[in-house]
Structure 1
C-alpha cells in the first residue's frame, strides 16, 4: 500500500496533468475494490450514496460514522481517495477547520465542502470564511491535501449562474485547489464557469436530462469528472427492477444475466 503522502502527491499530479480524468464514487468496500480493478486513477466518496446504502438521507449520517466509512474505503484501495464531507457537519468556520483535521486521520488525501445547509445556501461571506478555515487546516498538514470547494446553487434549485461563478471565484481566492458546481448540465454553463476561474473544475455527470459527455468536457479543459451517487442509483435500479419482476410475475430470469460468484471473487481480490 502507498503511504498517505505518496497518494497525496499522486492525486496532485493527476490534477496537474493535461488530460481529463474520471473520479468515480464508491459507496462501500466492494464498490471501491471493483472501481480500483477497472483502472481508475482516483476515487471520491459520495455522501448521498453512502447515506442511501445505510438506509438514511443524505447529510444525515453522523461524523463519526462518516470517519469509519472513510477508513474502510481508504483501506480497500491503493488509489488516492477524496472525501465528500457534505457541508462539513458544522456551520461555524472554526469547526470546519476541525472537520478537515479530523477527516485527514482516515487516510484521505482530498475533500470537498458544500456551501449549503439543506435547501438553503450560506451567505457568500460565511461560505468563503468556511473555505478559508478549511484552507488553513490544509496548510497545517505535512502533505499536499487537495481541497475542493463546491457551489451547490443548482443542487438546491437556484440556477443562478452569475452567483455560482461569484461564489467559485471567492472560494478560489480563499485558496481552494479545485472548484465544483454540481448540477450544471449544459456546455454553455461549463464554458462560462471555465472562462471565469483559474483552478481545475470538477463536473458532475450522471444527472437525468444532462447531455454532457467526456469528449466535450475534455475539449473544454474540464479537469475532473465525478459521478456522484449515480452509480449507486444505477445499481439500485437493477435491484428494484429485479424485485418487481419477482414479486409481480414470480419470474426468476434475472439469474441468467447475473454476474457469477467467481467473477465477483476476481473483482474483489485486491
Structure 2
C-alpha cells in the first residue's frame, strides 16, 4: 500500500469508530490469512483486524510464539489481498523499539495495531506501558490507530475492573484512540464505556453475547481474537471426518 493509500486507510478506520449508534458497533472480523481476508472483505466488512492467535495457528505456531518477521509478513499478505483498512494485532511489539514497530507496521501496509500490556504472563507496570504507548504513537505521527489492549481480566489482578479503569485513563492520556479490555465480563462493559473516554473494543466469543448485544452494552468495536479461525478449524475437522467416513 502506498503512503497516500495508508493515510486514506487510517482516516477511513478512524471514521468507522466515530458516531456509532447503540447496538451498531464496528464489527472487525479477524482474518488469519489472505484467503480468509478476501472472504470477509467480499462479504462487505469495511475493515479487518488480524488476530495474533489466529495468524500464529495458520503459521504453525502456538499463540505468542510467532517470530516477528513471520507475523509482519503475514500481515502484509493480508493487506495486499484486500482493499479495506487492516489493523494488526502485534502482541506487545516483539521487543522492538517504538519507532521500529511503526516502521514494520507501515511497511506491511497496516493502518492500526493492538498493543497489549502484559508480557510473559505478567502485567507491565501501568506507567511503563503508558510511556511505551506514547512513544509508539509519537513515532506513528497519526499514521496508525493504536488500540491499547488491557489485560487486567486475563492476569492475576486483585480488582480487574478498577485496574482496567486506571490503565484505560492513562492510556487515553498517552494518545491511544481505542481501548480493549479483553475478557471483560458483560456486566462490566457499561461501566467501562461510561468511565473511559473514546471507543471501546470488546471481544466477542462464540457462546457469549452477540455483537449487537455488546454494542447495546457500550462496545464501539467488536473483535474476535482467534475465535473465527477456531470455528473454521472445526469445520475442517468435520470435513476430514466426513472424508475418512468416521
TM-score by length of 2: 0.90
Alignment partner of 2:93: what SS? coil
CA distance in 1 between counterparts of 2:155 and 2:218 reads 26
Q: How does 1:86-105 map to 2 (within 5 A)?
A: 86-90=91-95, 95-105=97-107
Partner SS for 2:108: coil
Q: What is the aligned partner in structure 2 of residue 232 from structure 1?
A: 229
Q: Distance in 2 between matches of 1:10 and 1:180?
A: 20
Q: For 1:207 and 1:88, locate their aligned partners in 2 and report how far apart those are by CA, in whole Å.
A: 28
1:156 and 2:155 correspond: yes
1:145-173 deviations in Å (ceiling 9; x for gaps) = 21110111223354711111111111011
1:207 offset after TM fit, Å?
A: 5.4
Give 3-state SS (helix, strand or coil) of 1:83's partner. Answer: strand
Distance 1:45 1:241 in 2: 25
SS at match of 2:114: strand
- Write the distance in 1 (CA, Å) between the matches of 2:155 and 2:237: 27
Q: Deviations over 1:192-233 (max 9, x none)?
A: 11121111001110255x3x2223322234211111111100
Displacement after TM superposition at 1:21 (Å): 1.4
**Structure 2 residue runs without a partner (length 5+):** none
Contact 1:183 1:207 survives alignment (8 Å)? no
- CA distance in 2 between partners of 1:50 and 1:121 (Å): 23
Distance 1:13 1:75 in 2: 22
Change (3 A) 1:222 1:100: same
Asked if the contact 2:105–2:111 (Cα under 8 Å) also holds between the matched residues in 1, the reply is no
- Which of these two proteins has the greater Rg computed from alpha carbons? 1
Write out per-residue CA displacement over residues 6-52 of structure 1, whole angstroms, 9 at most, x where no aligned residue: 21221111112324210010000100000001001100101000101
In structure 1, list runs of 5 or more residues that go unmatched.
Answer: 252-270
1:243 equivalent in alignment to 2:243: no
Aligned to 1:72: 77
Counterpart of 2:43 (choices 38, 41, 48) is 38
Aligned Cα RMSD in Å? 2.0
- Stretch of structure 1 that moved more, 189-198 or 216-225: 216-225
Q: How does 1:5-44 map to 2 (within 5 A)?
A: 5-19=7-21, 20-44=25-49
What is the correspondence of 1:80-229 to structure 2 with a 5 Å cutoff? 80-90=85-95, 95-139=97-141, 143=143, 145-156=144-155, 158=157, 160-186=160-186, 188-206=187-205, 208=207, 210=208, 212-229=209-226
Q: TM-score, normalised by structure 1?
A: 0.83
| Residues in 1 aligned to 2:62 and 2:156: alpha-carbon distance in whole angstroms | 18
CA distance in structure 1 between the partners assigned to 2:167 and 2:135 by the alignment: 16
How much does 1:246 deviate?
5.1
Compared CA separation, residues 134 and 154, structure 1 to 2 (3 A) = same
